[in-house]
Structure 1
């Protein structure tokens, strides 16, 4: 990963750690979080407190699109298992 992509990824993790991002599943969403029992067992808290979140997307100079996904505890603010992913892009450029 190039320097610009690495810095953008760090900024995306900071966005999630600061409480930002989009809730995809779990706490704050109508979509159940299948990993909630595992997260509560491994990191603490109640399963209902955990959510999967996504940062905003970043488009690199080479045109590649990526974002960071992680799990966040809504009560403690703890963020675990962040990972950088490249979302699937459909015809017309919509992820």
Structure 2
């Protein structure tokens, strides 16, 4: 797990239950590219962990997740490559969740 992943997503496992906690409450835990990459990394680890039987998605702060980081999207508005990469990464994370064993 990278340092950035530890900052954005906390992973806690006990008795076969893994809790992934989004940890950017000051940004309403929005799905920035960095958050999506951190989630993807954690989900890949969990997918290969035979001890994990249940995954709980949680969040620090008073908002679970505001959706995509619109500030980041707006800043990269003219970058078709970024927009495509962002939505591909988002699709990857959603598929990782659906395909967890």
How high is the TM-score relative to the length of structure 2? 0.23
Q: Relative contact order: is structure 1 or structure 2 higher (C-alpha 8 Å, sep ≥ 6)?
A: 2
